[in-house]
Amino acid sequence: MTRVAKWRDVGRPEAALIGVQYVGNDDGTHRDAYHVRDVQSAPWLFAGTNLTVGSPISSFGIEIDKTAPSSPRGTHVLAELPNLLGPGRTGQMTYYEKKGAKVFAVGAFTLAGDVWKPRVKVMIENLWEWLSKP
């Protein structure tokens, strides 16, 4: 299998489905904490974490994704890794709902590595519970 082009370059931007699209990857050279940006749009995600706007969540990096003009209307940026790979190259954790679908994107490749950290564990449990509801 050979990649010939990015989906967005052939008229099918990944952000139109996922809410975010690939920005870059530096193999983990730069890592930083996500900072909560919006609790109100997904209070169920942050329930039981004591996280508020501006709170750091955990250390992430490697690959980052962010919203784009093709992101669905109503996509909420819940947390960010600001300027992780340089000015404007920010990872964004997002969520949107459309026609019964619930779409969450972590916006960084390394969430799974921190899943056992208390706050991240609670967030993942909250996410699974929310996504499993019809």
Could you tell me the pLDDT band of residue 72, with boundaries at 50, 70 and 90? very high
Q: What is the pLDDT of residue 109?
A: 72
Cα of first residue to Cα of last residue in the chain, in angstroms, is 36
pLDDT higher at 100 or 9: 100
Q: What is the pLDDT of residues 21-66, one digit of tens each?
A: 988 888 777 778 889 999 999 999 999 999 999 999 887 667 889 9
Rounded Cα distance between 25 and 14, Å, is 16
Could you tell me the pLDDT band of residue 125, with boundaries at 50, 70 and 90? very high
CB atoms within 10 A of CB 54: 8
Give yes or no for residue 1 having a pLDDT over 60.
no
Query: Which of 18, 20, 36 has its CA nearest to residue 78?
Result: 36
Query: Which of 55, 50, 63 has its CA nearest to residue 118?
Result: 50
Q: In angstroms, what is the C-alpha Rg of the chain?
A: 15
